Amino acid sequence: MSHTDMKMNSGGQKFQKRVMNPRVFKAYMLGKAPLLGVTGAYLEHLDTHSGRLILPASRRVKNLFGSLFSAALLAGAETLTGALIVLHMRNQGKKLSPRVTTCSVETLDWEFSDLKLVAHDGERYADFVRRVAASGIKESETFEVVASSGSTLTHRISLTWTLE
């Protein structure tokens, strides 16, 4: 991987600035992903190395049984990992089509409070984008998001993204 893949350039900075603005992010989510838009979720941090999304605990994310609506958790994880992929696409000036092909959730603990979803491995995201753009061949890779409530790890979410 090239070290320049991790340096933020103007394309990456423009995307980062847009999605880190809570009002712009919420408006975009309401239009493109209404489920996540109504939850009050927001990107707390995003750079070429990692990202963090906050999913507030509210009645908007509760299921019929009073626990977390899995769709809200998955929407948050997909948005977070998708934002990292798009950031690297914009940062490298590459036009690719990303989509999630599989996902899984492992619930480790549960308490109904705000969740912090974190994705690391920015270098893997950058390399994934670079490899697919260079080869022109469709490829898939799995990324992990961990969710926590305070200091308690609550979920591990795996999403397999395909780029072409």
7 is written with which tokens?
């340096």
Q: What angle do CA 23, 46, 88 make, to 5 degrees?
A: 115
The predicted pLDDT at position 21 comes to 85
| The CATH number fitting domain 3-163, selected from 1.10.1740.10, 3.40.50.800, 1.10.10.60, 3.10.129.10 | 3.10.129.10
| Among candidate residues 134, 117, 99, 97, the one with its CA nearest the CA of residue 5 | 134
3-state secondary structure of 129: helix
The predicted pLDDT at position 61 comes to 60
Centre a 10 Å sphere on the Cβ of residue 84 and count the other Cβ atoms it contains. Answer: 28
Average pLDDT per consecutive 10 residues, the chain (164 residues; last block may be shorter):
73 88 79 73 94 81 65 90 96 96 91 88 96 97 96 95 97
How much is the pTM? 0.89
2 is written with which tokens?
């090239």
| Among candidate residues 17, 1, 164, the one with its CA nearest the CA of residue 95 | 164
Domain boundaries, the chain: 3-163
The predicted pLDDT at position 84 comes to 97
The predicted pLDDT at position 31 comes to 76
The predicted pLDDT at position 141 comes to 98
Would you say 144 and 157 are in contact if contact means Cβ atoms under 8 Å apart?
yes
